[in-house]
A and B are shown apart, each in its own frame.
Chain A
């Protein structure tokens, strides 16, 4: 049996008390595997930082428990937990050199100075900053400080590395470059990473699994593809990528699929995780990604529609198409798939939703 790197069991966190009480986390259950790149993704204020601070030991849960490789963390101070944090604003010690910063954790652990020097050298090499050891933090660029913050947190070889929006102060290009580096670093070191972000692309591109959070709760915990292809509820569907939400009625089941009716259109949908509880005739909510929809000649699709708007965005083209009074769908098509003259607004077209591309949400 493999133990999880981190197990969060029924954790509640409330800040303040009485009238000022803010519930930051509510009944959180999570299991993070060893060597996993795990991401907490969610909008501002959903409790991501709070969860990290509970793991690091800066805050205590009001309810529930947190285990690190099977051991209870309760009662352990942050300095007693084999967990390190990369802070959002880096928090490098401004009065120390880069080398002293990186060696700080080891020094506090009582490692002898020869060993510290060796490790600091290795860490500088790992983040490709060999020449900068004797500088002070304010003599480095934001991206460089970022790497040093990483090196400093990795130097004591923590069992888990916590990263709180480490790229938020970097510009877009640098952020994208750092994604690859961070993923690479995680593979090389074999350390479990818990990464916090509110940037879905960042989460998608690096994570083994993502916990999508909202209002102090975990909305869905899955691999990135599953989160995108099979969102469980409206929040997840809306938060990750673009989506069409369609009100429909379940008419019957066919093999694994659900046949649904939305107005005059018949949609063959994939069941979400809640399909066993569905009954025929029940109203359901479907989600379908704009790129799954297809535009056809009029009459050839499942339904006819009028193009309301056509927007060119480089690689793709976005269409807004009205199928009926209360059904307006967004369609996204790659420009290489389009005919010479793409449909313009006012054109009448056909629309089809390929079987299995819509998924049933559970709310």
Chain B
């Protein structure tokens, strides 16, 4: 009896340890972000000394024309990069998922490879490429670079969605007198929509947050929000930086939340029992 009481206790012990450690880990992970957000509402000019609650740094940040321009630039780049890369990714997924063809595995690998290449290498390569073809650096060069490296991110959820799709649905469409295009428009595309939305959101987050590649290929006057924050921080941490960073953080988090909500919702919806 005593022995049987003992065993479960013993096996639970390591779990408790893991729990404690993971709590610590999360504290470590999120404490800086919490500090960032809290101090962005601090009235004091010296960022690390709390005086009282205030939103004046947000007001100040949003009335700063440079910051306004950086936000607009970031959104411009992200929107164009998201739309174009998602379009490419969707087409690539559709082509690569057709009945087997030669080079399918290689093509899949080629599309996903940029996920593994160190970003700094991609950044240098992109810069060298633009220099080689004498492409003027500016907002356009950032957009082009973002489109390219967002494709694999947009591609992943779309391909996953396509792989999980019941192939007989397309056959059912054909059986019911739909031609290839009608099958695509009425069956494949609506079924793929959650994957496409997820891919687009992922591409958007990646683009908004990108720093290294943007830094390399940005021309004069083409400052995105992360670049601007970096340039500010060289003058010391100010509450204004905290406020702007919090804004950037919120953009990313809301995109992730949207992604999560959409993928959960569609999972419930599209499973036929």
Contacts and interface: CB of A to CB of B under 8 A. Distances in A.
Contacts of B271: 94, 138
Interface in A67-105: 77-79, 83-85, 87, 89-95, 104-105
Interface string B174-188: 111111001000110
Interface in A269-321: none
A89 B174 CA distance: 16
Interface stretch (B65-73, B146-154, B163-171, B256-264): B163-171
A136 interface: yes
Contacts, number: 74
B273 interface: yes
B46 interface: no
A89 B166 contact: yes
B172 A85 contact: yes
Contacts of B171: 58, 78, 85, 87, 91
Contact of B191 (A79, A90, A94, A105): A94
A97 to B, nearest CB: 12
A24 to B, nearest CB: 17
B191 A95 contact: yes
B239 to A, nearest CB: 48
B269 A136 contact: yes
Nearest to B191: A95
A91 B168 contact: yes
Interface string A133-153: 000111000100100000011
B136 interface: no
A94 B175 contact: no
A165 B169 CA distance: 17
Given A91-B168, A93-B169, A95-B190, A105 B177 contact: yes
A21 to B, nearest CB: 17
A79 B169 contact: no
A95 B270 contact: yes
A109 B177 contact: yes
Interface string B240-273: 0000000000000000000000000000011111
B182 A108 contact: yes
Per DSSP, chain B at the interface is: helix
A230 B202 CA distance: 67
A83 B174 CA distance: 11
A47 interface: no
Given A138-B272, A138-B273, A142-B273, A108 B178 contact: yes
A227 interface: no
A350 interface: no
A56 interface: yes
B176 A105 contact: yes
A90 B176 contact: no
Given A92-B272, A138-B273, A108 B187 contact: no
B187 A93 contact: yes
Given A109-B177, A156-B177, A91 B169 contact: yes
B272 A108 contact: no
A109 B178 CA distance: 8
Contact of A94 (B173, B176, B272): B272
Pick the most buried of B172, B175, B273: most chain A CB atoms within 10 A of its CB. B175
B166 A79 contact: no
B190 to A, nearest CB: 5
Given A89-B168, A94-B191, A95-B190, A138 B175 contact: no
Contacts of A84: 175-176
B92 to A, nearest CB: 23
B272 A87 contact: no
Nearest to A105: B176
A78 B175 contact: yes
A79 B175 CA distance: 5
Interface in A108-155: 108-109, 136-138, 142, 145, 152-153
B172 to A, nearest CB: 4
A104 B173 CA distance: 8
- Residue among B173, B179, B182 with the most chain A CB within 10 A? B173
Q: Of residues B186, B190, B191, B272, which shows the largest number of chain A Cβ atoms within 10 Å of its Cβ?
A: B272
Contacts of A105: 176-177
Interface in B199-247: none
Nearest to A149: B172
A79 B272 contact: no
A138 B190 CA distance: 16
Interface of B: 166, 168-169, 171-179, 182, 186-187, 190-191, 269-273
29 contacts: A58-B174, A77-B179, A79-B175, A79-B178, A85-B171, A85-B172, A87-B168, A87-B171, A89-B166, A89-B168, A91-B171, A91-B172, A92-B272, A93-B169, A93-B173, A93-B186, A93-B187, A94-B270, A95-B190, A104-B173, A104-B176, A104-B178, A104-B186, A108-B178, A108-B182, A109-B177, A138-B269, A152-B176, A156-B176
Interface of A: 56, 58, 77-79, 83-85, 87, 89-95, 104-105, 108-109, 136-138, 142, 145, 152-153, 156
Given A104-B176, A108-B182, 18 more contacts: A77-B174, A77-B179, A79-B177, A79-B179, A85-B175, A87-B168, A90-B272, A93-B186, A94-B191, A95-B191, A95-B269, A105-B176, A108-B177, A136-B269, A138-B271, A145-B272, A152-B176, A153-B176
